Amino acid sequence: MKNDKDYIFVRSLIDKYRLNEKYFHLDEKYLFSYIDRIVYEYRVMDTLTFVTSKWSRVSSYFLKVFIILGGAFLSVIKTQKIKKSIALANTSFDSGIIALPFADNVMRMKRLRDLCDMDIDICYHPHFHFQSLQKQIDYYNSRNESVYLDYFRLSDTIDLAVKMLADSHQLRKCSKELDRYFNSNTCKLPGIVIVSVLYRQSMTRLLKRMVTSQTSKIWLMDFCFELKYITFNDVIHKQRPQDKTIHLQHGSFFTYQPAYCNPCCDISLCCSPREKDIIDQNNKYKSRIEYLGAPLQSFIDKSNIDKVESSFDILFLMTDTYSAENKMLQTIFLKGFDFLRYKVLVRYRPASRIDDETYLSPFIGGATVSNGTTLTDDVKSAKTIVSFSEDALYIGLRYNKRIVVICSEDPKETYNFDNSTSNIIITNHLSISKSLDWDAFIEGAEECDYNTDNFALYNFGINNFEQLRIRFKEILTTCL
């Protein structure tokens, strides 16, 4: 990567404008990764910071600084309100394991304390977005579990604002050079600088205030598009070299993605041997890669062995209809399927249900529509599953359901079919709605067991929660 022209250009700008010396303060290893992060933001995504914000494409340097630092100021106020709702708050981190949930919109780490019987402290870093934070705090309150919520300091935001205004001439020049090189007009640099500086100050203060013991600790981190883990790893390893950092993969991926494959942690826990192979090929720092098992958020409840009599032959798990491709995949398949022959349950994607149901309801042939039940309830109630989203595979695997996945790309490009199975069909051939022997597929459902299915184990990992518990504890024990 160091020979990549994008990397060389960005590195030259950082050196030219002394950004690392003035703002990032990263060791060479983490600076290398941070440059990757900047290149990735420009080349692959519109923006990583405030990716869904209407302000993400503001091109004025001063307005961008005002918006983001204004967001940090509002974060201070909102956090103080949420902190008052925390039933049990940590006053110090006494356990040997500290979890830093990064993802704002889902509770990736909510199963950690179920996954292992070791004490784990939960610490939420300062947030810019608060859509789901209160929901997450309520979750821990309902379980009488302690949690710590960190926050930005007003003095930090004011000091940084003064510094960025004082350096505005140089930073604006650097930002324009970046935009010109990447053919962009989004002025991303202020966000990159502000996120790095504020989170460095936050983590530095957190370590001094909350971590007083000199015994080694484990820091667990998850998925983060803003890649705050680069700064966090740098601070932790500088102040506490005896500690270990561990990255938990958040969900499936098929190509290398820096947010999913944390290159800075000492250890990465991935979901499957297939994904381990991908990380190994891009493991710049030769971090230790361990295969753990299915994504933690796929375990919605504790039960893993209870059986429910199936009342439906097939469960259809629909995806959104926002893209023309998704509309085409679903409508062609549904039009070709014989709904009169089988008992079918249709579950729409909750986040887009109103739009999806409006568009797809004419094609489902009088099938029963899921209403008021959980995904787990629906999966248990069906013998087999047809899914238009690969993310839905995991819960089907967990309950040993035969699965048909309809995808747009050739699955041979993303999966290893050396140990193909009759229990999982992944295809981009929409004619399967007519060509598959559905009677035989449904009849074979009782014999499905993914604990011994080599195709499922290699491509998707272990889906048995008890096995994950054993593997997770073994890995943590070797680190303490």
**Which is it for strands 218-221 and 244-248: parallel, antiparallel or unpaired?**
parallel
For 312-460, CATH gives 3.40.50.2000
Query: What residues have CB less than 8 Å from 388, skipping those under 6 apart?
Result: 317, 318, 319, 326, 329, 330, 333, 405, 406
Residues 409-429: tens digit of each pLDDT: 899 888 889 888 899 999 999
Q: Looking at the domain covering 47-298, what would its CATH class be?
A: alpha beta
- Residue 200's closest CA among 30, 48, 61? 30
Identify any residues that bridge with 344 across adjacent strands, giving them in sequence order.
Answer: 314
Where do the CATH 3.40.50.2000 domains begin and end in the chain? 312-460
Pinpoint the alpha helices (H) of 352-448.
Answer: 353-360, 375-380, 393-398, 432-435, 438-443
Residues 420-474: tens digit of each pLDDT = 889 999 999 999 999 999 999 999 988 899 989 999 999 999 888 888 888 888 8
Tokens of 62: 């001063």
- pLDDT tens series, the chain, 480 aa: 455 899 999 999 999 999 999 999 999 988 988 898 888 878 876 444 444 455 566 789 999 999 999 999 999 999 988 988 898 888 889 899 999 987 655 556 777 887 777 889 999 989 887 767 888 888 889 988 899 999 999 999 999 999 999 999 999 999 999 999 999 888 889 989 999 999 999 999 999 989 988 899 999 988 777 778 899 999 999 999 999 999 888 777 777 776 667 768 899 888 899 989 888 887 766 778 888 887 765 565 544 455 567 899 999 999 999 999 999 999 999 999 999 999 999 999 998 999 999 999 999 988 999 999 989 899 999 999 999 987 778 888 989 999 999 998 899 888 889 888 899 999 999 999 999 999 999 999 888 999 899 999 999 998 888 888 888 888 888 887
227: left (phi over 0), alpha (psi -120 to 50) or beta: left
**Average pLDDT over the chain, rounded to an integer:** 87
Instruction: Give pLDDT, residue 36.
Output: 84
Q: Tokens in use for 216?
A: 């080694």
